[in-house]
Structure 1
Amino acid sequence: MTAVQGEPRPVRRIVTGEDAEGRSLIVSDELTPNRFMAPYAPSYVQVPWATGEGAARGDDPAPAGHQFGFHSPKGTILRIVDFPVDTSYNESQLTEFLDANQVRDASNPRHFWFHKTHSLDYAICLEGEIYAMLDEDETLMRAGDVLIQRATNHSWSNRSDRPCRMAFILIALDGEDTSAH
């Protein structure tokens, strides 16, 4: 259970289950296998778990190397992201990534990360600080703050001098109205 050198701290993933008699037990206790550095920045991404159509088939829904979209249709994704400072991004590669996933706001974005997904996202600041930016507003989030992102155009801006670790629980909406949630 060792991290790749140079990566931020990996997340320990503990998964529970039941034995043949229905008694609870720990099925696995290991570092999250699905983790990688994003190609557009030194942004460390980890997916400890997923459900729905985006999850991998088999015993582990988030194995090493499994590719996830921004959300999992008819399901959820738990994603931990270490956002680097804004100046470390390759904006051209990030634009290509957002365009490939068909989520980028190309109209008149206030920030290079502006995007919109069809999911209800619980965004939890675990360490550091980051600005949650919307078309009309922004707010500084610090450790312990939670943002409920209801399928709106948004961006994340790390204007500090150190990474910010965020946890996201992404819930696919699959045609649902976000105003009621």
Structure 2
Amino acid sequence: MLKQVRRIVTQNDENGKSEVMTDGIAKHVITVLTELWVTEAGPHDHKTPVDMATKSVGVLPPKGGTVFRFFQIAPDSLNDHLTWDERQKEAREWFTAMNGADIQPDTSRHEGMHTTDTTDYIMLLSGEITLVLDKEERDLKPFDVVVQRGTNHAWVNRGTEDALLMAVLVDSSGR
């Protein structure tokens, strides 16, 4: 079950005084992604009463924008019973559910490999996770940070508990 994340969003009232707009559990979830906030390209509208997290429709942020999210990766051992083909199929379905069917150019190293045209700032909050790249791997411990710069990668949890991560994805495509 996905860990619930309390999210507090602030705003200024009509007199310019700061206040809380929202305080509660973030509810916009796309598979393992709990969307916390999205910004569009250009100046940010700090007056809108819209919950911008609901603007997220999948893995990628809006053109010229950002997405701030919490995500959770279950232990890889939960899929030990699956064949390679079954794991590949499951990964394709998972990425398709996140509107990311086209971001898996080379999954030969791991079925979860994917590439996005974004700069990502990712921090492991708890658990264990391994960053798998085409040529090498790096094990992360809580509070380790990865700056992901548009490279093919996968997140693999070889531990025994869910890995909890926070990420900010910044569109770098110029699309």
TM-score, normalised to structure 1, is: 0.79
- Aligned residues of 1:70 and 1:101 also touching (Cα < 8 A): no
Q: Report 1:69-148 matches (<5 A).
A: 69-89=59-79, 91=87, 92-98=89-95, 101-106=101-106, 109-148=108-147
Residue 45 of structure 1 corresponds to 33
Residue 35 of structure 1 corresponds to 29
> Is 2:48 aligned against 1:60?
no
Letter in 1 for 2:152: N
Q: 1:52 to 1:27 in 2, by over 3 A?
A: same
Offset of residue 58 of structure 1: 6.7
Letter in 1 for 2:64: K
- Aligned residues of 2:64 and 2:174 also touching (Cα < 8 A): no
Residue 17 of structure 1 corresponds to 11
- Per-residue displacement from partner, 1:120-150 (whole Å, max 9, x unpaired)? 0001001111001111111101110000000
Letter in 1 for 2:92: T
Offset of residue 87 of structure 1: 3.1
| In structure 2, distance between residues paired with 1:104 and 1:88 | 22
What is the identity percentage for the equivalent residue pairs of Structure 1 and Structure 2? 28
- Aligned residues of 2:95 and 2:101 also touching (Cα < 8 A): yes
Offset of residue 94 of structure 1: 1.4
- Aligned residues of 2:38 and 2:61 also touching (Cα < 8 A): no
Letter in 2 for 1:94: A
- Aligned residues of 1:98 and 1:115 also touching (Cα < 8 A): no
Structure 1 unmatched runs, 5+: 1-6, 39-43, 177-181
Give the length in aligned residue pairs: 159
Q: 4+ runs of 1 displaced by more than 4 Å? A: none
TM-score, normalised to structure 2, is: 0.81
- Aligned residues of 2:114 and 2:153 also touching (Cα < 8 A): yes
| In structure 2, distance between residues paired with 1:171 and 1:32 | 20
- Aligned residues of 1:12 and 1:32 also touching (Cα < 8 A): yes
Offset of residue 27 of structure 1: 1.0
